[in-house]
């Protein structure tokens, strides 16, 4: 993935993009993929500013959201979308049949 981003000329935010890909893919595996189903990861160059869009398509129901609990509480989970919301310029959830698409975008700086 780092090589692809470098080929697209995206170097300055590559680590943020890779971290968000990891978080969204993990969320899809843990929460959005029913048994026997998979998920689709897409990285797309943004034509209007040279940035990057990350999309994770899964077939699970439900809408992911940033937990309202205090993030300082002990435990291993619940911080992935918080990281995505802080690192990406935009993020959201789109409908898909079946399931949903969780996406985030990184503008070129």
What does DSSP say about strands 52-58 and 90-95: parallel, antiparallel, or unpaired? unpaired
User: Which of these ranges, 42-51, 64-73, 78-87, has the smallest mean pLDDT?
Assistant: 64-73
Q: From residue 106, how far is each of 14, 52, 79 by CA, in Å?
A: 10, 5, 19
pLDDT in tens, 1-16: 889 999 998 988 999 9
The rounded percent of the chain whose pLDDT value lies above 90 is 58
The residue with tokens 């990891």 is: 22
CB 18 within 8 A of CB 12: no
- Partner residues linked to 64 by β-bridges: none
Q: With 0.85 as the threshold, say if the pTM is over it.
A: yes
What digits encode the pLDDT tens for the residues 24-35? 999 999 888 888
- How deeply is 81 buried, as exposed, middle or buried, from its count of CB atoms within 10 A (0-12, 13-18, 19+)? buried
Domain ranges of the chain: 2-106
CATH of domain 2-106: 3.30.565.10
């Amino acid at each position: 993935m780092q090589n692809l981003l470098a080929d697209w000329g995206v170097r300055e935010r590559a680590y943020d993009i890779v971290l968000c890909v990891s978080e969204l893919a993990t969320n899809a595996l843990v929460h959005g993929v029913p048994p026997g189903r998979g998920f689709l990861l897409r990285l797309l160059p943004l034509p209007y500013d040279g940035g990057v869009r990350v999309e994770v398509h899964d077939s699970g129901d439900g809408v992911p959201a940033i937990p309202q609990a205090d993030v300082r509480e002990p435990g291993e989970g619940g911080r992935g979308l918080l990281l995505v919301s802080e690192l990406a310029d935009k993020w959201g959830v789109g409908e898909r049949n079946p399931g949903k698409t969780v996406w985030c975008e990184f503008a070129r700086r």
